[in-house]
Amino acid sequence: MTQAAFNSFLVALLLVPAVTFILRRWKKARVIPSSLLLLSLITGLFVAGISFWSGKHLAVDLSQWTPFPFALSIDRLSAFFLFLICVVAVPVTLFSSSYIERHYAGARRDWLWSLLPLFLMSMVLVVTASSAFAFLFGWELMTLFSAGLIVVDGDSQERRHNIFIYLLMMHAGAAAVVAAFLLFVPQAPALDFAQMRTSIALMPQSFRTAVFLLAFTGFGTKAGIIPLHLWLPKAHPIAPTPVSALMSAVMLKTAIYGFVRFGFDFLGPGPAWWGYLVLVAGGFSGVLGILYAIGEHDLKRLLAYSSVENIGIIYLALGTGLVFQANHAPIWATLALLAGLLHCLNHAIFKGLLFLGAGAISDSAHTLDLEELGGLLKRMRITGTAFLIACCSIAGLPLLNGFVSEWLLFRSFLAASGLTTLTGATMLPLAAGVLALVGGLAAACFAKVYGVAFLGRPRSDEAETACEVPRPMQIGMVLLAAACVVIGVAPGLVLAPLSATVQEFLPGAAMPQEAASLSAVIPWIALSVAVLVLAIASVRRIKRLTPTWACGLPALNSRMQYTATAFSKPLRQVFSRAYKPNRTVEVLPADQPYFPASISYRSVRTTSFEKSLYQPAIDAVVITAHRLRRLQTGNMQVYLLYIFAALIALLMFMRWS
């Protein structure tokens, strides 16, 4: 039954582009592609849900029709990530059914409806693949389809440049992933996942370390850990909003899936430094990601940087898990993995919601510049309330889902004080300080976002005349907001099957008691807060509308409000080392500094990674290319000489090896 449903889910995803193409001229059939996609995703959600909660394994083997072994199988880990994809994709599709119709027409609309299901399909392939070829096939398609979806929104010079960087880094990452798979060939020539798992015992330690490092860089590039994050704030903001939502919420998680498969499932326990490497990378990404986010006032770029931060939190959890595993503490490793995997789901939900909210804002206020927004909550009550829930979740506040995973991570840091190694017992508890800082900065960042965009007075005419978005877009956001609350108040619903998931691939794992203790206390807190809030709010407070006193001026206007830039100024000042801004102030005319006619101020922030890490590498490549050009003389005789020399070299190599 579920098997048949899964098969039809895959087929339906492939059918959507065909249906879109066939019906493209028939105006009345506009709803058919979106409805079909929605239907298939709901099927997928059920399939994933059933096999995640019940632990039922599914498998599809297409190897007899394909030239290489192409098999899919769903164990609990795959089911969890499939669930994650569908749980975000359903509301996003609902949202898009209205958003795409409003903003795209003709061929661009058809392209979106054709590429969107294929993009989803490729992600489904990645998380369900059980052979290396199927995995890599999906992995490459995922990059290409997402790049295609970005191109639909236009291909100006700047966008092309950004897409180029995206494709370049993705392929560099994919090369590392391919290499990680190829290192398994001596032991498991078919590169079947089950075979790879069993053959790991035969693999020498140096190979295992190499596999780990390749997987770390390969998947790290896709996940966007700093300093491999460069593409992320370039590619995510320029995609059509529903695609940005899917890229940030779901696509990054496929990299986490891959890393968990390699790091925990295939490789098994390794040396502790693997864990510390991941931990440090996570800490850096977390702190720097959210600092860059605070400095942004373009909403989508801000959200992209905040994805870097959340990936950092997930890597902190995975690193902690690896350290525990190396120290033979499987139950604590379960706790850390629960934190990491649950944060994947949580981040998918609230980041999807935030991107959809950004779409709703750009739909009704026609801008995503925070400095042009303001007062949207009064004009868009449903969107505003859903966005508020997402902001509270991402800030890690209790009673919402973000808190649950951060709490689990805090508790696994605390559990580390019981480790026997001194490094573990100091490093991990201190990492709690890093997580606390990240949490505090995230709260600051999203207080800024919400306070500036949705509260106060409108800062532009567009924001003033904004109105609520159509019903399907609202429903999409409300569904995700509801998911935030459900997981936040009843974390046990997800934690129980999730710890069963971890037990499937982590030997010795068991449900940690911390997970149960949170489920026991959170509902009580939720109940008491709800009762208190309702009780106090029901006491009638006499209310009088009156304009704010403007210190004697006629009236306050929106220019007197604090801006997003002003709000983040103290934090940017304190953490100025992370920003390294390049400021220029120009006062005109120059001979009258105290009585200027105009002052212009520019502050440009180039991230130091581009300057000090990537630029030298690019320069080196270019210089080497220039040097190599000398080989290409264009003279036929010289080329013949090359061939002859190569032949001699090969013969000599064959002779002596």
Partner 1 sequence: MTIAINVVQVLMLVLMAPLVRGVIARIKARIQNRRGASVLRPYSDLAKLFHKEDLVPPSASFVFRLAPVVMFAVTVVAAAFIPVLRSSALLGIRGDFFILVYVLALGRFFLLLGAMDGGSSFGGMGASREVLVSTLAETPLLLALMSLAMVAHTASIEKMVLWTTGQDFFELSAVHALAFAAMALVAIAETGRIPVDNPTTHLELTMIHEAMVLEYSGPSLALIEWAGAIKLTVIMALLVGLFLPWGMAATFSLPAVAIALVLWLVKLGGMALALALVESSVAKLRMYLVPDFLGVASALAILAVVFTALMR
Contacts of 401 (CB under 8 A, 6+ apart): 342, 345, 346, 349, 350, 393, 483, 484, 485, 486, 487, 488, 491
What's the CA gap between 356 and 100, in Å, rounded? 12
- 606 touches partner 1 (CB under 8 A): no
Determine contact, residues 453/373, Cβ cutoff 8 Å. Answer: yes
Nearer to partner 1, 521 or 625 (CB): 521
Q: How deeply is 592 buried, as exposed, middle or buried, from its count of CB atoms within 10 A (0-12, 13-18, 19+)?
A: exposed
Nearer to partner 1, 328 or 378 (CB): 378
Site stretch for partner 1 (CB under 8 A), options 47-55, 98-106, 158-166, 556-564: 556-564
- 407 touches partner 1 (CB under 8 A): yes
Choice from 205, 546, 635, 657 touching partner 1 (CB under 8 A): 546
What's the CA gap between 134 and 116, in Å, rounded? 20
Site stretch for partner 1 (CB under 8 A), options 41-49, 64-72, 540-548, 646-654: 540-548
Place of tokens 């100024």: 569
| Smallest gap from residue 369 Cβ to partner 1 (A) | 17
| Smallest gap from residue 80 Cβ to partner 1 (A) | 25
What's the CA gap between 623 and 628, in Å, rounded? 9
Site stretch for partner 1 (CB under 8 A), options 86-94, 517-525, 639-647, 648-656: 517-525
| Smallest gap from residue 464 Cβ to partner 1 (A) | 11
| Smallest gap from residue 98 Cβ to partner 1 (A) | 24
Element (H, E) at 72: strand 71-74
| Smallest gap from residue 304 Cβ to partner 1 (A) | 21
Choice from 32, 388, 485, 578 touching partner 1 (CB under 8 A): 388
CA 434 to chain centre: 20
Place of tokens 């506009």: 30
Three-class SS state of 369: strand
Nearer to partner 1, 546 or 598 (CB): 546
Site stretch for partner 1 (CB under 8 A), options 124-132, 142-150, 268-276, 413-421: 413-421
Choice from 100, 345, 348, 571 touching partner 1 (CB under 8 A): 571
Phi, psi of 586 (to 5 degrees): -120, 120
Return the amino acid letter for 647: L
Choice from 14, 105, 493, 560 touching partner 1 (CB under 8 A): 560
| Smallest gap from residue 406 Cβ to partner 1 (A) | 8
Q: State which of positions 414-443 bind partner 1 (CB under 8 A).
A: 414, 417-418, 422, 425-426, 429-430, 432-434, 436-437, 439-441, 443
Nearer to partner 1, 268 or 451 (CB): 451
Q: State which of positions 257-316 bind partner 1 (CB under 8 A).
A: none
Three-class SS state of 167: helix
Phi, psi of 236 (to 5 degrees): -60, -45
- 581 touches partner 1 (CB under 8 A): no
Nearer to partner 1, 267 or 442 (CB): 442
What's the CA gap between 545 and 555, in Å, rounded? 15
Site stretch for partner 1 (CB under 8 A), options 134-142, 337-345, 514-522, 623-631: 514-522
Q: Is the dihedral of CA 528, 529, 532, 538 positive or negative?
A: negative
Nearer to partner 1, 261 or 411 (CB): 411
Site stretch for partner 1 (CB under 8 A), options 38-46, 97-105, 264-272, 554-562: 554-562
- 555 touches partner 1 (CB under 8 A): no
- Strand partners of residue 601: 585
Nearer to partner 1, 78 or 568 (CB): 568
Nearer to partner 1, 230 or 299 (CB): 299
Site stretch for partner 1 (CB under 8 A), options 20-28, 52-60, 74-82, 560-568: 560-568
Determine contact, residues 579/572, Cβ cutoff 8 Å. Answer: yes
- 403 touches partner 1 (CB under 8 A): yes
What's the CA gap between 565 and 563, in Å, rounded? 5
Site stretch for partner 1 (CB under 8 A), options 86-94, 125-133, 567-575, 594-602: 567-575
Nearer to partner 1, 149 or 518 (CB): 518
- 544 touches partner 1 (CB under 8 A): yes
What's the CA gap between 294 and 285, in Å, rounded? 14
Q: State which of positions 330-349 bind partner 1 (CB under 8 A).
A: none
Nearest to 96 by CA among 123, 71, 114, 72: 114
Choice from 1, 201, 542, 636 touching partner 1 (CB under 8 A): 542
| Smallest gap from residue 271 Cβ to partner 1 (A) | 20
Q: Which long-range contacts (CB under 8 A, 24 or more apart) does 414-422 make?
A: 415/329, 415/332, 415/335, 415/514, 416/320, 416/323, 416/324, 416/332, 418/329, 418/332, 419/323, 419/324, 419/327, 419/329, 420/327, 421/272, 421/327
Place of tokens 């599809």: 60
> Looking only at Cα atoms, what is the longest distance across the chain?
97
Determine contact, residues 303/236, Cβ cutoff 8 Å. Answer: yes
**Residues touching partner 1, count (CB under 8 A):** 79
Nearer to partner 1, 49 or 429 (CB): 429
Nearer to partner 1, 252 or 441 (CB): 441
Nearer to partner 1, 29 or 443 (CB): 443
Q: State which of positions 139-198 bind partner 1 (CB under 8 A).
A: none
Choice from 1, 201, 536, 585 touching partner 1 (CB under 8 A): 536
Nearer to partner 1, 541 or 630 (CB): 541
| Smallest gap from residue 450 Cβ to partner 1 (A) | 6
CA distances 569 to 172, 202, 442, 487, 557, Å, are 37, 56, 15, 34, 21
What's the CA gap between 447 and 438, in Å, rounded? 14
Cis amide linkage into residue 596, ω under 30° from 0: no
Q: State which of positions 441-470 bind partner 1 (CB under 8 A).
A: 441, 443-444, 447-448, 450-452, 454-457
Choice from 1, 201, 537, 636 touching partner 1 (CB under 8 A): 537
- 377 touches partner 1 (CB under 8 A): yes
Three-class SS state of 595: coil
Nearer to partner 1, 154 or 570 (CB): 570
Task: Return the CA Rg of the chain.
Answer: 26
What's the CA gap between 83 and 345, in Å, rounded? 9
Choice from 21, 68, 164, 562 touching partner 1 (CB under 8 A): 562
